[in-house]
A and B are shown apart, each in its own frame.
Chain A
Amino acid sequence: MAPLLAIVGAVLGFVAGWMFCRSRPTLAEGSLVPAAQPAQPVPSFADVLEDHPAGVVVCDASGAVRFRNAAARSLRGTHAGVLIDEAIERHLSEARRGIFSDEAIELYGPPKTVVMVEARPLPDGGAVGFVHDISEQRRVEQVRTDFVANLSHELKTPIGALSVLAETLEEETDPVTITRVVGRMMGEAERASRTIDDLMQLSRIELGGERGVEAVRVADVIRSAVGRVTEIAARRDIHISSLGSASVEQADDSIIVEGDRRQLVSAVGNLVENAVKYSEEGGLVEVRADRDGDWLEVAVVDQGVGIPQRDLRRIFERFYRVDPARSRGTGGTGLGLSIVHHVATNHGGEVTVSSVEGEGSTFTLRLPLLATTPVDPLTDQTPTEYTNRHVDRHIEGVA
Chain B
Amino acid sequence: MPEHGDLRDRFHGGVDQLRNDIARLGASVIELIPRVTEILLQQDLEGAEYVLQGDDEIDARSIQIEERALTMLALQAPMAGDLRQVAAVLKLAPEIERSADLCCNLCKAARRIYGHSLDPKLRGGIQRMSDQAHQEYKEAIEAYLANDAVRAAALRDMDDYLDDLHRQFIAQIFESHAAGTIDLQVAVQLAVVARFFERLGDHAVNISHRVIYISTGWLPQHDAAKRLLDRQDDAATVGDQGGS
Contacts and interface: CB of A to CB of B under 8 A. Distances in A.
B120 interface: yes
Interface string A267-311: 000000000000000000000000000000000000001101110
B128 A108 contact: no
B35 A82 contact: no
A358 B121 CA distance: 4
A326 to B, nearest CB: 11
Interface of B is mostly: helix
A356 B125 CA distance: 8
A325 to B, nearest CB: 11
A79 B120 contact: no
Nearest to A359: B124
B38 to A, nearest CB: 6
A306 B34 CA distance: 19
A310 B35 CA distance: 11
B6 interface: no
Contact of B31 (A77, A108, A305, A356): A108
B3 interface: no
A78 interface: yes
Contacts of B27: 79-80, 82-83, 86
B190 interface: no
A357 interface: yes
Contact of B128 (A79, A107, A356): A356
Nearest to A107: B31
A87 to B, nearest CB: 10
A375 B123 CA distance: 47
Contacts of A77: 142, 145-146
B122 interface: yes
Contacts of B119: 358
A83 B28 contact: yes
A79 B31 contact: yes
Contact of A356 (B41, B42, B124): B124
Contacts of A310: 38, 41-42
A82 B144 CA distance: 12
A86 B127 CA distance: 28
B26 A79 contact: yes
Contacts of B26: 79, 82
B141 interface: yes
Interface string B29-72: 01101110010011000000000000000000000000000000
A171 to B, nearest CB: 40
A80 B127 CA distance: 21
Contact of B120 (A109, A309, A358): A358
Contacts of A359: 121, 124
Contacts of A79: 23, 26-27, 30-31, 138, 141-142
A357 B121 contact: yes
B23 A82 contact: yes
Nearest to B41: A308
Contacts of B8: none
Interface in A74-126: 77-80, 82-83, 86, 107-110
**Interface band, chain B:** 20 to 34
B222 to A, nearest CB: 29
Contacts of B142: 77-79
B139 to A, nearest CB: 10
Contacts of A107: 31
A83 B31 CA distance: 9
A306 B120 CA distance: 7
A358 B38 contact: no
Contacts of A308: 41, 123, 127
A35 B107 CA distance: 66
A82 B145 contact: yes
Contacts of A86: 24, 27
A77 B23 CA distance: 10
Nearest to B29: A79
A55 B124 CA distance: 36
B120 A357 contact: yes
Nearest to A76: B145
Contacts of B38: 108, 310
A315 to B, nearest CB: 15
A305 to B, nearest CB: 4
Interface string A219-249: 0000000000000000000000000000000
Interface string B169-212: 00000000000000000000000000000000000000000000
Contacts of A110: 34
A357 B141 contact: no
Interface in B122-152: 122-125, 127-128, 131, 138, 141-142, 145-146
A77 B121 CA distance: 35
Interface string B87-126: 0000000000000000000000000000000011111110
Given A77-B142, A77-B145, A108-B35, A83 B24 contact: yes
10 contacts: A80-B27, A83-B28, A108-B34, A108-B35, A108-B38, A308-B127, A309-B131, A310-B42, A357-B121, A358-B119
Interface of A: 77-80, 82-83, 86, 107-110, 305-306, 308-310, 356-359
Interface of B: 20, 23-24, 26-28, 30-31, 33-35, 38, 41-42, 119-125, 127-128, 131, 138, 141-142, 145-146
